[in-house]
Structure 1
């Protein structure tokens, strides 16, 4: 993955999932709206090297790194407020990270509650080969390693939903 090339693997990562696909124009406007915040973002008085990207027209990824410091508390709250304000401006709602995001048979990103996801598995519409997204990643390094999107059978989804792992 070539995102956030100017940030180290230990840079913090937050993933926000939109309730609907975003157009190219909405994605661009979202990033432009966040740019002033990213340019002024600080943590404990230190500048945060922040970047944002939109993936698959559904996911806003926000990354930040403070050389010699850490991002916590008020600086995370400020980032969340900026992301939520940008979303409100565009009429975007963020989905709970407890919702499961996956690709359907046509490759389109979909989302389902955990109950709905279990039904999709029972119906054979979701299998161990179905690509799923892990919104719980917390570092840019995990994103770079390919942990964001992978077959359900090789993710935490296999354990939680009793999917037979891929061989």
Structure 2
């Protein structure tokens, strides 16, 4: 199943990362609580086609598209407020996009500060082959092209953390 199948590649994308894994019930409640906002979301008086999805019980993805329009400023702020309110109602803390998300040796999604991530690399617990997540994606097309999760050696993490790039 492709996420946001009805959206063009240029549709905007925002990724919110939870501090912990959400249960299936929490995920369902979170997505349901965002529906009223998504149904009424507007940008410069135009309706925004919006949709939310959850990946790996940690990442809330919010996509938005305005045919012949643009999502900016106040409409982005409104989306962020809606996500924050929905999370707060469920006791979910959204982490800074500066936090690094990766899969540990068992495949579980973990997070670390940049300093902690450097220590994990030094200890050999994170390598260029370790799957990492890129929370900086801004379009649905990037998501479709597989830019969200990839080996650290094939992402910006290789450059920032001096990991040997993977072919």
TM-score relative to the length of structure 2: 0.99
Q: Which runs of 5+ in 1 are unaligned?
A: none
Q: Deviations over 1:85-144 (max 9, x none)?
A: 000000000000000000000000000000000000000000000000000000000000
- 1:35 is aligned to 35
Distance, in Å, in 1 between the alignment partners of 2:73 and 2:163 is 37
Extract structure 1 runs of 4+ deviating beyond 4 A: none
Say yes or no: does 1:23 pair with 2:14: no
Distance, in Å, in 2 between the alignment partners of 1:166 and 1:62 is 30
- 1:117 is aligned to 117
Say yes or no: does 1:82 pair with 2:70: no
- 1:66 is aligned to 66
Distance, in Å, in 2 between the alignment partners of 1:165 and 1:100 is 17
Deviation at 1:60, TM superposition (A): 0.2
Distance, in Å, in 2 between the alignment partners of 1:131 and 1:52 is 23
- 2:9 is aligned to 9
| Cα RMSD after superposing both structures | 0.6
- 1:107 is aligned to 107
Number of matched residues?
167
Deviation at 1:36, TM superposition (A): 0.5
Q: Which runs of 5+ in 2 are unaligned?
A: none
Distance, in Å, in 1 between the alignment partners of 2:118 and 2:32 is 38
- 1:131 is aligned to 131
TM-score relative to the length of structure 1: 0.99
